[in-house]
Structure 1
Amino acid sequence: MKKFAKSMISVAIMSAAIASVSAPAQAADKLLLKTPIAFGTHLPALGTPIAWVADQLKLVSDGKVKMKVYEPGKLVSPPEILDAVSSGKVNSGYSTAGYWQGKMPAAALFSAVPFGPEAGEYMAWLYYGNGMSLYQEMYDTAGYNVKVMPCAIISPETSGWFSKPIEKPEDLKGLNMRFFGLGASVMEKLGVGTVQLPGGEIFGALEKGAIDATEFSQPAIDQRLGLHKIVKYNYFPGWHQQATVFELLINKDTWGKMSKGQQALVETTCKASMTNAIAEGEAMQFEVMEKAAENGVEIRYWNQTMLDTFKSKWDEVVAEKTAADPFFNKVWTDLSTFRKGYDLWEANAFLPRAQK
């Protein structure tokens, strides 16, 4: 899907959220979700969605359902969110499943997929394919005591900030680079040393020379980190993250004690947040990109040789991961089957980029 705005299924989602406000099934008991987050609320489309969710939950429930958001590291560090929610140390948490791929390899497929689905297609698989059942099955099978729901999504990210032009695969060899998720496995096959740093540590690592290059998120978000002050070549498209899903995890014991109305309220608000997050992200990128030259930044689009190389290495990564982990293979097979069917719709329904 070339632009999520083409399919405003969000209208129905937002309507459902409004309708749920007046539902009489909500329990009289109050609910407080204490929610540590992986991304600061100062970061648009990364951290702002969960702050929006917290505001909306209080509003639409007339104060009966509240969420207290804890900035990264204030209550639980981002890498510990899943374990903290599962154990009951906190009753909820906000992150992205890609952070757990070391524990569950398939988790990355519920976060961002190289050369994978864009936002509309991703949501179609999650909500109306087998995505959500597989998503929950992954946590259940791994023994985590959590209820999972997508609670934000953003469109493509940039695919790298470099201090020099990258014209051929050999130019990447030997670089140390901050890189996220499955895309990091691709870069490693090209001789890049990768590390997954939290956003707040990237600028310092670049400044000190601990890393040579980085990717993090969308232009408006990267700007907040000041990446343009150190590295001047910003590459597109975001082949490694055409869309990124963020999750709300709720402790299953807490979830089980919630009324059906409370559960529906949280789920519906998260669906509305999917709309809100992608709209926010889509609206703010071009203004930042228009001013890139003023900051000495050169926006570049990967040449075909580089894109073909990334894709061929991604195919190798998929072959290795599907062979190594049965559940990764299960999720990948299901997603691939869905996407093959979706291709028929996409190929016929949307205008080619050149005709827009």
Structure 2
Amino acid sequence: MRKTIGAATMAVAMMTAAPATAESFDLQSVFGLQVPSIGPSPVKWAERVKLMTGGDIDIKVHGAGDFVPPFEVFGAVSSGALPMGFDWIGYWASTIPVANLIGSMPFGPTPDVALAWMFEGGGMEIIQKAYDPHGVKVIPCHLVVPEAGGWFNKEINSVDDFKGLNMRIAGLGGKTLARLGANTQLVPAGEIYVSLETGRIDATEFSAPQLDLGFGFQKVVKNYYFPGWHQPSSWDSIIINMDVWNGFSEDVQNIMVEACKANIAFNLGDQLHAQADAIAAIREAGVEIRRFPDEVLADIRTEAEKVLTEEAANDPIFKEAYESLTAYMDRVGEWERLQAIPAK
């Protein structure tokens, strides 16, 4: 009888006790939350974390500029002014050189190879070493499909056509085209359309057709080139102040990583599904869908390899990641070659 009464008393106490208060954290993205795919991506990640923690962790996601300008998110997370952020990893290349490689490796891995290297081939462990001195935990959380080669106000028939071209292009691709005579610059996403419209820039790359369509580039530029040699795949990531990260239990840390893996899977499917309709809409707007000539791609590749070699010589973690990733691409490449089926 005493055991029964004791159990009943405990049950009543549990039901009448005040519910535990969820821990709440702010996260600011470098993108507007209405941008297709990358906009809602951190929102979906936060929803998954809340679900998987049973509501114990509540992450409130804010869009670009809500607390700090987009290009200041990393510094704010590093200093602790923001507990969390969501980014395109390549934005921080001036601070973390290896971010350039992960964000935009010219002629780099396809998304499936990039995914395997990051989580199974040692990629996460290598790049985290570059973030540690800044007190930031990085979790790759959104894998971007191959981008378009860019929007141009003229045809590109040889690499000489890049000379004097004012182009918005990020990362190592920008460094590559600069070697070919282009005037490259990094323009925030929200300013690209106006820069094209006003003639501040003659060309731009941004992302895959799904996102480019949403920004309206088809209204002002009529040459849309493929392939996206500069970013065959690229990563967006969750960044967390290291003190905040260390304050989470190991279970919560694991949940955040697993939520990112779920996010990656969802977004890959969403992106692949959306591109065909986006290309059709862009074509209907009067845009010429073109491919760079093979000889142009060959000349670009030559310069890109020089850029990658120079960057590797300047930073030991970049070098480690570059050697690891290229070796991984070679090793798993046999599988892809064996499985390749000729086109019709």
1:334 to 324, 336, 339: 324
Q: 2:213–2:282: 8 Å Cα contact kept in structure 1?
A: no
Give the unaligned 5+ runs of structure 1.
1-27
| Whole-angstrom distance in 2 between the partners of 1:326 and 1:266 | 29
| Whole-angstrom distance in 2 between the partners of 1:110 and 1:320 | 16
Residue 198 of structure 2 is matched in structure 1 by 208
1:90 to 79, 82, 85: 82
Q: 2:148–2:225: 8 Å Cα contact kept in structure 1?
A: yes
Q: Equivalences for 1:2-21 in 2 at 5 Å?
A: none
What do residues 126-149 of structure 1 show as CA deviations (whole Å, max 9, x unaligned)? 111120110111112xx1111111
Residue 222 of structure 1 is matched in structure 2 by 212
Matched, 1:315 2:294: no
Residue 4 of structure 2 is matched in structure 1 by none
Paired amino acid for 2:292: W
- What percent of counterpart residues are identical? 37
1:29 positional shift: 6.0
Q: 1:49–1:276: 8 Å Cα contact kept in structure 2?
A: no
* SS at structure 2 position matched to 1:284: helix
1:342 positional shift: 1.2
Residue 28 of structure 2 is matched in structure 1 by 36
* SS at structure 2 position matched to 1:116: coil
Say what the alpha-carbon RMSD is for the aligned residues.
Answer: 1.3
1:59 positional shift: 2.9
Q: 1:45–1:278: 8 Å Cα contact kept in structure 2?
A: no
1:321 positional shift: 1.3
Q: 1:110–1:245: 8 Å Cα contact kept in structure 2?
A: yes
| Whole-angstrom distance in 2 between the partners of 1:155 and 1:347 | 20
TM-score, length-scaled by structure 1: 0.88
Q: Equivalences for 1:1-356 in 2 at 5 Å?
A: 30-140=22-132, 143-352=133-342, 354-355=343-344
Cα 1:177/1:265, change in 2 over 3 Å: same
What do residues 304-345 of structure 1 show as CA deviations (whole Å, max 9, x unaligned)? 111101111101111221222222212111111111111111
Residue 7 of structure 2 is matched in structure 1 by none
| Whole-angstrom distance in 1 between the partners of 2:228 and 2:159 | 17
Q: 1:45–1:154: 8 Å Cα contact kept in structure 2?
A: no
1:219 positional shift: 0.8
| Whole-angstrom distance in 1 between the partners of 2:234 and 2:321 | 17
* SS at structure 1 position matched to 2:95: coil
| Whole-angstrom distance in 1 between the partners of 2:189 and 2:288 | 22
1:102 positional shift: 0.9
Q: 2:126–2:317: 8 Å Cα contact kept in structure 1?
A: no
| Whole-angstrom distance in 1 between the partners of 2:230 and 2:210 | 18
Q: 1:237–1:301: 8 Å Cα contact kept in structure 2?
A: yes
* SS at structure 2 position matched to 1:32: strand
| Whole-angstrom distance in 1 between the partners of 2:284 and 2:326 | 42
| Whole-angstrom distance in 2 between the partners of 1:262 and 1:302 | 46
- Greater Rg, structure 1 or structure 2? 2
Paired amino acid for 2:266: N
Paired amino acid for 2:273: A
Residue 16 of structure 2 is matched in structure 1 by none
| Whole-angstrom distance in 2 between the partners of 1:30 and 1:135 | 31
What do residues 78-97 of structure 1 show as CA deviations (whole Å, max 9, x unaligned)? 21111111111111111022
What do residues 15-40 of structure 1 show as CA deviations (whole Å, max 9, x unaligned)? xxxxxxxxxxxxx6632221010111
Q: How many residues align?
A: 325
| Whole-angstrom distance in 1 between the partners of 2:308 and 2:282 | 35
| Whole-angstrom distance in 2 between the partners of 1:236 and 1:292 | 13
Q: 1:159–1:238: 8 Å Cα contact kept in structure 2?
A: yes
